[in-house]
Amino acid sequence: MMGQLDRQKTISPNINTSTINTKLMMKNNNTMEWLGGKNEEDKIQIMAKARQESQILKEKEISDEIKLTNERRATLQQRIDEKEAKCMKINQERKELLNEIDKMGGKWKSEPEMNSYIDNLKFKKDKISAIKNQIMYRKDVCMQSVTDKSLFRRNLDINSLKQNLINLIQLENTQNVPVPMEINENDNEHSHEQDIPLFLPASTSGPLHSPSIAFSSTIDPHHS
């Protein structure tokens, strides 16, 4: 049955499912042969009833299709609204986080800077909140890249939070260290030999205080 349905959809892509089902049922149930065995009066009554029921089924199918389309649109709109609401919530949280970081003087870049700020806070809950904000700032705003996602955990005690933040700071400082260029010592020495001028007396018979003339190391000064 499903194979026949697929074939009919391939032959007539725009045909509705109700029409396909009717055609298949008539074929599989030998409806035309059964109808051929009826007298003319019965045929007329049967066909009239079939047309009436067909119209009812068609109207129901249209109604169901409209209902299904509306449900799909409502579901799609709900997803769009949920996504927009989620984005707005994230943006609001980031805005509030930025305000908190600004109050702290910015992102902490060293362990002493962290300890200095925390030591000035009186209550433990404020210290925990400050550390969490610094961690979340690195995660949600700076998008710091880490292999160990547990460094961003917040449901920890203050010592664990401090250690995670220290690890994040150290990791960032390591990532930001510039890589020095490698220099070939042999090439470097060779280039210096060519750049350094060779000073020789202008005349061997002249006075000792005669001015000197600079020659390149690649030129023979005695060659005339």
Least confident of 25-34, 36-45, 168-177: 25-34
CB 130 within 8 A of CB 121: yes
Interhelix angle for 40-103 vs 17-28, to 10°? Answer: 140
Distance CA 180, CA 6 (A): 66
In angstroms, the CA 153 to CA 160 distance is: 9
pLDDT for the residue 55: 80
Cα separations (Å) of 32 from 7, 16, 38, 47, 95?
21, 21, 10, 11, 73
pLDDT digits (tens, 9 = 90+) for 70-119: 999 999 999 999 999 999 999 999 999 999 999 999 999 999 999 999 99
Got the DSSP string for 196-222? S-EEEES-SSS-TTPPEEEE-TTS-TT
Q: Tens of pLDDT along 192-212?
A: 444 444 444 444 444 444 444
CA–centroid distance for 205 within its chain: 81
pLDDT at 163 over 80: yes
Report how far residue 114's alpha carbon sits from residue 112's, in angstroms, rounded to the nearest whole number: 5
Rounded to two decimals, the pTM is 0.50
Token pair 């000064």 is at which residue? 221
User: Is the pLDDT score of 10 beyond 60?
Assistant: yes
Flag whether pLDDT at 15 surpasses 70: no
Tell me the pLDDT band of 65, cut-offs 50, 70 and 90: confident
pLDDT of residue 183: 54
Average pLDDT over residues 154-177: 90
Q: Is the pLDDT of residue 157 over 70?
A: yes
Give the pLDDT confidence score for residue 52 in this predicted structure: 81
Rounded distance, CA 160 to CA 175, Å? 22
In the structure, what pLDDT confidence band is assigned to residue 149 with cuts at 50, 70 and 90? very high
Long-range CB contacts (< 8 A, 24+ apart) of 12-17?
16/61, 17/61
Mean pLDDT of the chain: 78
